[in-house]
């Protein structure tokens, strides 16, 4: 495959799409599927068959459209001049006949979902640019949308250093939680003279409430493959792994299909695009342990060992999989790469803030009107995300806190809502960007319960290797439960704070180091909620003043 052939393929795909007047796109991501999207697709396909309109109407399943709370979502589009586009929400099997009849005529107002709301208008889509528009199971759709152009152009017109430079210039930082500059990481691997190197895509996504990576893989798997292949070209790797949890069967299926299609088209495998560059990708299924998302544990797991972290340094970039230099990046990080190579690092840098460039995908969940998947430029304020895009808190309740970063993150109160969302500001406020989970809470949530919930998660996900995390999370959970029950005294709270400090500073890996975050941030902003639950120490009076 060369650029011309790719261009021909793209034109063909576009022409085919144009030849059909009407397009019915049904969201087939996991959320809409679980509320019956597959039946809708079957229904529409049958209608087309019955009416013999196959050459005019195209029915296809696409990836996530974002507004998961309104699913199943169906978009009906016309390609004719002045063609209209209508988005329908909460579509049921019985609505298919009415919707099908309306194609090319008056839309069904009853089901229409407004698209001029901030939820859609305030987003800026890079990672999700194709999501909800293309059929993730058809490589032609991806190519028709400009896919694989970056790869073919890089292989035929750019040197690995050129690709690396664009990524460095872009200022892209890792989306897996740490925010480490991707260009620096790539350069470390690229610099190594070792003959064997690996690229790993981290699709373990274990934060409760986060589903960004799943959505990207389900909606646009080729994008991740293209990003990985570009990364492999830049750092000089020939083998890659996608480490994905087995709880994501749909994403795994689509990835497998995508790998097969790309290999058949010569865009993956031996001598890609007839150049000497080869890159093969294998899928490794994880059993769903949260700690296996940590890079050293993930590597151990791929090697067939117990998924346990090991001390860094050595960093995977120096000594990773089978002791070879290994580039490990998150799904979303890699999904940004095709766009960066296509538009240039400077373009990417122009989006977002100076130190946090580009966009970030967030999974909005909790007490918020519009739950679902959004992609926004970095630097946007939390208030804009929650009140405008998210549509505020439903049922006339009031906002209390927003939790970012999952079990490693923190809870931020109202007074921090105007803060820009970027890696460094969130950190100074006591939370983290994390991988992109965002849980909104109203006044009915107890902060002690929230802290206890996340601690329970860390306790049961701790791998048990190091003492502070293994025994410390257990003890912290015990104290939090005691506070929640109303049985704790001020001494317990003090012990909890001391434990937080020890576990944070001495644990081996990020899980233990950040496990106290939810407790420390809620103590920082909602200390009174803890104190209200304390009972007087029955022995306080009897105790000597100094102990």
Ligand X SMILES: Cc1cc2nc3c(=O)[nH]c(=O)nc-3n(C[C@H](O)[C@H](O)[C@H](O)COP(=O)(O)O)c2cc1C
List residues near other proteins by CB under 8 A: 193-195, 289, 306, 310-311, 313-314, 318-319, 323-324, 459-468, 470-475, 478, 495, 498-499, 502, 505-508
Neighbouring C-beta atoms of residue 98, cutoff 10 Å: 12
Q: Which is nearer to ligand X, 117 or 250 (CB)?
A: 250
Measured from the CB of residue 525, what is the shortest distance to ligand SF4 in angstroms? 25
CA atoms within 13 A on the CB side of 298: 29
Interacting partner of 82 out of ligand SF4, ligand X, other proteins, none (Cβ under 5 to 8 A depending on kind): none
Q: Which is nearer to other proteins, 37 or 432 (CB)?
A: 432
Contact string (CB under 6 A) for ligand X, positions 101-140, x = contact: ----------------------------------------
d(CA 296, CA 58): 46
Instruction: Indicate the DSSP class of residue 130.
Output: S
The first and second tokens of residue 300, run together, are 């151990």
What are the residues binding ligand SF4 (CB under 6 A)? 291, 309, 462-466, 469-470, 507-509, 511-512
Measured from the CB of residue 506, what is the shortest distance to other proteins in angstroms? 4
Measured from the CB of residue 184, what is the shortest distance to other proteins in angstroms? 18
Sign of CA dihedral 501, 506, 508, 510: positive
Nearest to 410 by CA among 253, 498, 276, 520: 520
Q: Which is nearer to ligand SF4, 125 or 465 (CB)?
A: 465
The first and second tokens of residue 415, run together, are 């007074």
Measured from the CB of residue 459, what is the shortest distance to other proteins in angstroms? 6
Q: Which is nearer to other proteins, 318 or 343 (CB)?
A: 318
Q: How far is CA 531 from CA 205, 443, 455, 484, 526, in A?
A: 35, 17, 19, 11, 9
Q: Which is nearer to ligand X, 141 or 204 (CB)?
A: 204
**Residue 437 binds ligand X (CB under 6 A):** no
Measured from the CB of residue 416, what is the shortest distance to other proteins in angstroms? 24
Q: Which is nearer to ligand X, 160 or 176 (CB)?
A: 176
Q: Which is nearer to other proteins, 301 or 507 (CB)?
A: 507
d(CA 67, CA 368): 12
Interface positions, 460-519, toward ligand X (CB under 6 A): 509-511
Burial of 279 (0-12, 13-18, 19+ CB in 10 A): buried
Q: Which is nearer to ligand SF4, 437 or 512 (CB)?
A: 512
Q: Which is nearer to ligand SF4, 241 or 457 (CB)?
A: 457
Q: How far is CA 350 from CA 120, 171, 174, 421, 424, in A?
A: 21, 10, 17, 16, 18
The first and second tokens of residue 422, run together, are 């970027």
User: Hey, which bits of 367-426 come out as E strands?
Assistant: 372-377, 399-404, 410-413
The first and second tokens of residue 433, run together, are 């960007």
Residue in the shown chain whose Cβ atom is closest to ligand SF4: 512
Among 165, 180, 344, 427, interactor with ligand X by CB under 6 A: 180
Measured from the CB of residue 476, what is the shortest distance to ligand SF4 in angstroms? 12
d(CA 186, CA 197): 11
399 bridge partner residues:
442
Interacting partner of 202 out of other proteins, ligand SF4, ligand X, none (Cβ under 5 to 8 A depending on kind): ligand X
Measured from the CB of residue 512, what is the shortest distance to ligand SF4 in angstroms? 3
Q: How far is CA 35 from CA 71, 136, 190, 249, 252, in A?
A: 7, 19, 45, 17, 20
Measured from the CB of residue 240, what is the shortest distance to ligand X in angstroms? 14
**Residue 147 binds ligand X (CB under 6 A):** no
What H or E segment, with its residue span, contains residue 281?
A: strand 280-286
- Our CA angle for 278, 280, 282, nearest 5°, is 170
Interacting partner of 206 out of other proteins, ligand SF4, ligand X, none (Cβ under 5 to 8 A depending on kind): ligand X
Q: Which is nearer to other proteins, 352 or 518 (CB)?
A: 518
Q: How far is CA 546 from CA 489, 494, 495, 541, 543, in A?
A: 17, 15, 17, 12, 8
Measured from the CB of residue 297, what is the shortest distance to other proteins in angstroms? 12
Q: Which is nearer to other proteins, 312 or 342 (CB)?
A: 312
Interacting partner of 459 out of ligand X, other proteins, ligand SF4, none (Cβ under 5 to 8 A depending on kind): other proteins
Interface positions, 206-235, toward ligand X (CB under 6 A): 206
**Helices assigned H by DSSP within 129-211:** 139-144, 149-157, 160-170, 182-191
Residue 43 near residue 99 (C-beta atoms within 8 A): no
Nearest to 304 by CA among 287, 327, 317: 287
Interacting partner of 333 out of other proteins, ligand X, ligand SF4, none (Cβ under 5 to 8 A depending on kind): ligand X
Interacting partner of 499 out of ligand X, other proteins, ligand SF4, none (Cβ under 5 to 8 A depending on kind): other proteins
Q: Which residues bind ligand X (CB under 6 A)?
A: 174-178, 180, 202, 204-206, 290-291, 293-295, 328-330, 333, 435, 509-511
């Amino acid at each position: 495959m060369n650029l011309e052939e790719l261009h021909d393929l793209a034109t063909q795909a576009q022409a085919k799409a144009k030849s059909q007047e009407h397009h019915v796109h049904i969201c087939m991501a996991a959320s809409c599927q679980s509320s019956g999207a597959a039946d809708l697709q079957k229904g529409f396909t049958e209608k087309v068959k019955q009416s013999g309109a196959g050459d005019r109407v195209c029915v296809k399943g696409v990836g996530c459209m974002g507004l998961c709370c309104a699913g199943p979502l169906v978009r009906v589009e016309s390609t004719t001049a002045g063609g209209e586009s209508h988005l329908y929400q909460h579509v049921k099997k019985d609505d298919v006949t009415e919707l099908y009849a309306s194609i090319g005529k008056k839309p069904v107002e009853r089901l229409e979902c407004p698209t001029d709301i901030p939820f859609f208008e305030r987003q800026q889509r890079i990672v999700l640019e194709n999501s909800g528009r293309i059929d993730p199971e058809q490589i032609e759709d991806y190519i028709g949308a400009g896919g694989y152009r970056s790869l073919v152009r890089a292989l035929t017109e750019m040197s690995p250093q050129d690709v690396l430079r664009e990524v460095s210039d872009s200022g892209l930082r890792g989306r897996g939680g740490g925010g480490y500059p991707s260009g620096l990481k790539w350069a470390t691997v690229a610099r190594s003279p070792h003959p064997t190197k690996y690229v790993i895509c981290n699709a373990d996504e274990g934060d409760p409430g986060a589903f960004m990576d799943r959505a990207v893989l389900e909606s646009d798997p080729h994008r991740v493959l293209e990003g990985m292949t570009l990364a492999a070209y830049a750092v000089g790797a020939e083998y890659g792994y996608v480490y994905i949890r087995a709880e994501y069967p749909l994403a795994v299926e689509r990835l497998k299909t995508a790998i097969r299609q790309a290999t058949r088209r010569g865009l993956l495998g031996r001598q890609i695009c007839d150049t000497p560059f080869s890159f093969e990708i294998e899928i490794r299924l994880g059993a769903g342990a949260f700690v296996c998302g940590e890079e050293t544990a993930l590597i151990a797991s791929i090697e067939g060992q117990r998924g346990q972290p090991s001390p860094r340094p050595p960093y995977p970039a120096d000594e990773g999989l089978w002791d070879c230099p290994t580039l490990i990046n998150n799904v979303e990080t890699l999904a940004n790469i095709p766009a960066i190579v296509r538009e240039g690092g400077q373009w990417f840098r122009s989006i977002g803030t100076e130190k946090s460039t580009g966009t970030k995908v967030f999974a909005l969940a909790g007490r918020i009107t519009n739950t679902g998947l959004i992609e926004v430029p970095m630097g946007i304020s939390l208030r804009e995300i929650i009140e405008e895009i998210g549509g505020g808190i439903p049922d006339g309740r009031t906002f209390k806190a927003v939790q970012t970063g999952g079990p490693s993150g923190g809870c931020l109160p109202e007074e921090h809502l105007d803060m820009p969302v970027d890696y460094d500001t969130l950190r100074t406020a006591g939370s983290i960007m994390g991988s992109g989970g965002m849980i909104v809470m109203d006044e009915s949530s107890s902060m002690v319960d929230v802290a206890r919930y996340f601690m329970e998660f860390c306790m049961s996900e701790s791998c048990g290797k190091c003492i502070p995390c293994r025994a410390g999370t257990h003890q912290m959970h015990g104290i939090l439960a005691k506070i929640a029950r109303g049985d704790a005294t001020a001494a317990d709270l003090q012990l909890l704070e001391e434990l937080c400090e020890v576990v944070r500073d001495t644990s081996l890996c990020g899980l233990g180091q950040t496990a106290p975050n939810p407790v420390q941030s809620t103590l920082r902003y909602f200390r009174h909620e803890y104190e209200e639950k304390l009972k007087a120490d029955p022995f306080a009076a009897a105790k000597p003043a100094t102990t």
